[in-house]
Structure 1
Amino acid sequence: MPASPRRATLATVAASAGVSVATVSKVLNGRGDVSPVTRSRVESLLEQHDYVALPQRRRGDAAVLDTIEVELDDDLNAYSTEIIQGAVRAGAEVDAAIVVSIRTDADRAGAWARGLATAGRRALVAVTSELTAEQLTALSRVRLPLVVIDPLNLPQTRGVTSVGSTNFAGGLAATQHLLALGHRRIAYLGGPATAACNQARLHGYRAAMEAAGAAVLPGYVRAGHFHYQDGVTGGAVLFDLPEAPTAIFAGCDDIAFGVLEAARARGLRVPEDLSIVGFDDTQVARMASPPLTTVRQPLREMGGVAVRTALRLAAGERVDSHHVELATELVVRGSTAPAPPEGSPRPPLTRHAVG
């Protein structure tokens, strides 16, 4: 994040408004003995200066804990639930409170950042968020440390601290597993094209395919979102290609579950006709039918590392690295099998209703 400017004080606002510090304090506390004109001027300057009235922290007050905001940019899913569990567990270990929210007003960057600081948050952990320069600047102005888990974009500002996994190695391992099973027509169905984690997984896939001399056929790489429905619709498009893939590497488990459903709707058997590999290893992966072969991200550990790093930043400590990557691991289950013999007929593609 950019160098943090000095936090605005009551004296700063009072000097700008041409009134006393006591008058500014009265406005903040909703006192009635301030003229409407003065009140309006002071309130406007409080907003311009990004003034934040922090809660008082009293020694020995058990109710006042370090509070970390874990903010999602989408509804809860299996991935974010794992992250939150790790964050909550880490918070309990260091006597910090974890507040989970879904971002709703980040378009108003200044008000969003001031709201977090005014609520007494010591730091923000953003999960799979796409951050703008305005949002980063707003957080810096209120001196609120930020840690991002699996950022969807690569902020140009230096110093943004992030936590992720070895996405390239995971993409490489997933594709090498399918190649070792004899597959050559392997497609990649991923998330947003600009997402850093998706780019790394895609690069791992391409590196494995190139090393094996396996061509990436036209239409075999598709970008979308990390959502179940993208697996359903993307899988259907892949099955309609002139040379349909015999294996699909999905950029996350939710996409893989969508591909499973698309295969079921077409009468394709997994893994006899189609092998599928996911990425995440959420709890649902073990309960899928068949159980999903996937690349395990240490999601709970990522949540814990993010919280501990955020607290260190809030305490004014320096961190050794602005980006931490935890190791991934391929977990082989029942959704992958040797490729069907070349030229063997697939069952007819019957179309059923897809839920």
Structure 2
Amino acid sequence: ALLDLVFNDLDSPWAVEIIRGVEEVAHEAEVGTVVSANHDRVGAARQWMTNLRARASDGVILVTSVLEPGLHDELRRLGVPLVVIDPAGSPATDAPTVGATNWAGGMAATGHLLGLGHRRIGFIEGPPRLLCSRARLDGYRAALDVAGVPVEDELVVPGDFYHESGFTGCNRLLDLSDPPTAVFAASDQMALGAIEALRRRGLRVPEDMSVVGFDDLPEVRWSAPPLTTVRQPLSDMGKLAARAVLDLARDVAPASPRIELATELVVRASTGAPREV
């Protein structure tokens, strides 16, 4: 028996966390795991489908990856069950999904900074095509709204979840005539990029600017300073998706078509009160 686990790309530490969860469940069930990445390459999904047919996969787990609708139909025809982790855009399937409470996480991160006394809070967003990115941004806006702090467009800058865009985004915020006193980055990698941008300008975290990330990747405990972030239970998401797809392969319907796991704020040393002006 085989499970297929498909990512858009594998150059992210959070992919490893999801693989770990899927592997644990597959190992217990004595099922093999095939991991692949389609990198948005033209024809990659078709090629993958051909390989999938050849190896007679028992189930597919898609991670923030968009498959053309035609391929969904093909999986259905082959009778191969599908589960989606953190759907990117509205999934064009009736497939069960496993996600995290991104909106609540965005609200908790921003609420934490507001509670410390910050009023100008920058936000570095993730790719807008991903539902998780949009939900984190909505959580940020909602927290400001509840606190009666106006949402300013200039404080929201684009990012793509990777280090470089956090670095660039933070520099953009620092170049504003009235820069923010805190930054919430929609991923840990962007938060680390932001900390590097501050370091290169001789600014200290959190004395000169507070930084919050999102994910709680293993390495952020070792950043300087250790990062305040929103923990996503990534390996648990992998475990649940693997269990759901194995159930479907045995014709057992999942308990719920949409599972959302709780995120939680982890406060470390990268956040503090704004400097007295």
What residue identity is the alignment partner of 1:192? P
Q: Which residue of 2 aligns with 1:35?
A: none
Q: Which residue of 2 aligns with 1:211?
A: 146
Change in CA separation of 1:235 and 1:135 when aligned onto 2, cut-off 3 Å: farther
- Separation in 2 of the partners of 1:80 and 1:270? 28
Between stretches 94-103 and 110-119, larger displacement belongs to 110-119
> Do 1:185 and 1:246's aligned partners in 2 also have CA atoms closer than 8 Å?
yes
Matched, 1:101 2:73: no
Q: Which residue of 2 aligns with 1:226?
A: 161
Matched, 1:160 2:95: yes
Q: Aligned match of 1:328 in 239, 263, 271?
A: 263
Matched, 1:268 2:168: no
Mapping of residues 23-172 of structure 1, within 5 Å:
66-103=1-38, 107=43, 109-157=45-93, 159-172=94-107
- Separation in 2 of the partners of 1:224 and 1:282? 18
Name the SS for the 1:276 alignment partner: strand
Once the 2 structures are TM-superposed, how far is the Cα of residue 132 of structure 1 from its aligned partner? 2.7
Once the 2 structures are TM-superposed, how far is the Cα of residue 139 of structure 1 from its aligned partner? 2.3
Once the 2 structures are TM-superposed, how far is the Cα of residue 117 of structure 1 from its aligned partner? 2.6
Change in CA separation of 1:106 and 1:303 when aligned onto 2, cut-off 3 Å: farther
Q: What are the superposed Cα offsets for residues 247-285 of structure 1, whole Å, 9 maximum, x if unpaired?
A: 111111111111111111122110001111111101011
Unaligned runs of 5+ in 1: 1-65, 345-355
> Do 1:109 and 1:134's aligned partners in 2 also have CA atoms closer than 8 Å?
no
- Separation in 2 of the partners of 1:268 and 1:308? 46
Q: Aligned match of 1:310 in 245, 249, 252?
A: 245
Query: What is the TM-score with the length of structure 1 in the denominator?
Result: 0.74
> Do 2:85 and 2:97's aligned partners in 1 also have CA atoms closer than 8 Å?
yes
Q: Which residue of 2 aligns with 1:253?
A: 188
- Separation in 2 of the partners of 1:223 and 1:146? 32
- Separation in 1 of the partners of 2:157 and 2:249? 40
Q: What are the superposed Cα offsets for residues 266-324 of structure 1, whole Å, 9 maximum, x if unpaired?
A: 22110001111111101011111100000001111011111111111122221222211
**Identity between Structure 1 and Structure 2 (%):** 45
Name the SS for the 1:184 alignment partner: coil
Name the SS for the 1:248 alignment partner: strand
Name the SS for the 1:163 alignment partner: strand
> Do 1:187 and 1:216's aligned partners in 2 also have CA atoms closer than 8 Å?
no
Name the SS for the 1:100 alignment partner: strand
Q: Aligned match of 2:121 in 176, 183, 186?
A: 186
Once the 2 structures are TM-superposed, how far is the Cα of residue 198 of structure 1 from its aligned partner? 0.9
- Separation in 2 of the partners of 1:113 and 1:187? 42
> Do 1:286 and 1:292's aligned partners in 2 also have CA atoms closer than 8 Å?
yes
Between stretches 311-320 and 126-135, larger displacement belongs to 126-135
Name the SS for the 2:153 alignment partner: coil
Name the SS for the 1:317 alignment partner: coil
Mapping of residues 287-302 of structure 1, within 5 Å:
287-302=222-237
> Do 2:157 and 2:172's aligned partners in 1 also have CA atoms closer than 8 Å?
no
What residue identity is the alignment partner of 1:194? R
Root-mean-square deviation (CA, aligned residues, Å) is 1.6
Query: What is the TM-score with the length of structure 2 in the denominator?
Result: 0.94
> Do 1:78 and 1:284's aligned partners in 2 also have CA atoms closer than 8 Å?
no
Change in CA separation of 1:138 and 1:242 when aligned onto 2, cut-off 3 Å: farther
Matched, 1:200 2:135: yes
What residue identity is the alignment partner of 1:223? P
Rg larger in structure: 1
Report runs of 4+ in structure 1 exceeding 6 Å deviation: none
Once the 2 structures are TM-superposed, how far is the Cα of residue 110 of structure 1 from its aligned partner? 4.4
Tell me the number of residue pairs that the alignment of Structure 1 and Structure 2 aligns.
276
Matched, 1:282 2:217: yes
